[in-house]
Structure 1
Amino acid sequence: MKLLRLPFALLMTGLLGLSGCSMHQPVALYQLDSGDPGQPSQSAGMAVVLGPVSVADYLQRETFLQRQADGSLTSAINGRWAGSLSSDIDQLLVRQLAWRLDSQRVVLAPASSGFAPDVQVLLSITRLDSGKNQPAILDAQWRLLDRRGNVRDNRIVHLEQQHEGSESAQVQAQGQLLQKLAEQLSSAVKPLANQPALAEEAPKKPAAPVQVKKAPEKSKIPMASPIRTDMEVFRF
């Protein structure tokens, strides 16, 4: 009897092993594709601070989300982000902007105390997702501040990118959308390179002196004063 039970035990062990393998399939980890940005050559190019960059709350997770036809979002079964999606977005945009502006002086906010930017980019990403049958979509808004903190540009952007449907193709499409965003940002930033330096500002005109009305001068002709005598005589 013991000899008959042995093959049965081995069979059960094999089945359990197979079920365990099916339950622990490897999960694919994804990172955004930053393209192939070149190395900026100018160490004294435009000084740009990127950020703060705000990313929609629903993207603050490792789960790789899938957009459905009805607009709902579901978690991908076999894939997730390899780390922080927000950090990936920041690094992709910094590298792209530095390359497109040909400047080594593109940094993430907050910048060091001695860094005086020519432009600060305030960026908000409200949507970045895709689905098997849905295109990759990026919705964002930026504001550009010049050296004096004045808003020089404000733009709302909507971008779409088609893909082949697989999760890896979706990740690639989302990275391409961010590259397009960096291209538009660099085009908006470049004109601000010609700002006059703060020291070159025209001096303010002094305020016009306040004119004080002068009191009318007293007449130098003496007033007649009567002298009492027997006769009324007026002396001048």
Structure 2
Amino acid sequence: MNTKSAVRNGIVAMALAVGMLPLAGCGKSAPTHFYSLNATPQKSDAAPAGPCMSVGVGPVDFPAYLDRSQIVTRSGGNRMHLAEFDQWIETPRENFQRILTENLAGLVCAKPLVTYPWPTGGHPDRQIVIQVARFDGMLGQDTVLRASWSILDADGNNVAWRSNEYRESVAAPDYESLAAAQSKLLEQFAKDVAASLLGN
């Protein structure tokens, strides 16, 4: 092979290598972003409302369509969307129960405040059983929580039953804004659950 042929072949090889660089980048998937609901800090320094009693939160029943790590949103009509690269950091049911419990801690005097299943050998004075029918929304529009809850005494008797629907606007068309709006829904829900516990 003469010098000219070697140089020509080298240029061709280099051009092919440079041309393949964009294709190499195509094999990388988008990074996954993870989200969580947040509890709302109580602004008052006053002690939570009494009387004090042991309270248990759960079980919490979630619909099957939400029982997944991908964030579920609606896109109009009957269409639902699963966000492959925007996911909950823990299961939605566990996240919902944990944040509800944190919110309740600042609203009622509960000693102790536990989540279902209870510690071995213990049973709370009041148990909150929750059924969530809907907890989703549309990016940049609004999000909805539709739930029912029962308050049971230590013997398992139903002392209160409530059902309500909550709506909150989503500030921007992104998943962080959706999670923030859903956190506000859970704050509203916790206030109603606390009122039920206090007999209001």
- The two structures have a TM-score, normalised by structure 1, of 0.72
Q: 1:48: which partner in 2?
A: 55
Cα distance in structure 1, aligned partners of 2:156 and 2:22: 68
Q: 1:105: which partner in 2?
A: 112
The structure whose Rg is larger is: 1
Deviations 1:193-226 (A, max 9, x none): xxxxxxxxxxxxxxxxxxxxxxxxxxxxxxxxxx
Of 34, 38, 54, the residue aligned with 1:29 is 34
Cα distance in structure 2, aligned partners of 1:132 and 1:41: 37
Q: 1:176: which partner in 2?
A: 184
Q: 1:229: which partner in 2?
A: none
Q: 1:142: which partner in 2?
A: 149
Cα distance in structure 2, aligned partners of 1:58 and 1:140: 15
Q: Percent identity?
A: 22
Deviations 1:129-175 (A, max 9, x none): 01125410001001111233321111111000011222111111111
Deviations 1:31-56 (A, max 9, x none): 112222589978x9320111111111
Cα distance in structure 2, aligned partners of 1:65 and 1:40: 38
Q: 2:13: which partner in 1?
A: 6
Paired residue total: 189
Amino acid across the alignment from 2:57: L
Amino acid across the alignment from 2:73: Q
Cα distance in structure 2, aligned partners of 1:71 and 1:183: 31
Deviation above 4 Å: which 4+ runs of structure 1? 37-42
Structure 2 residues without counterparts, runs of 5 or longer: 1-7
Structure 1 residues 52-61 or 3-12, which shifts more?
A: 3-12
Residues 100 and 190 in structure 2, CA contact (< 8 A), matched pair in contact too: yes
Hey, which of these two has a bigger chunk of strand by percent?
A: 2
- The two structures have a TM-score, normalised by structure 2, of 0.84
Cα distance in structure 1, aligned partners of 2:177 and 2:58: 28
Structure 1 residues without counterparts, runs of 5 or longer: 193-236
> For the aligned residues, what is the CA RMSD?
2.4
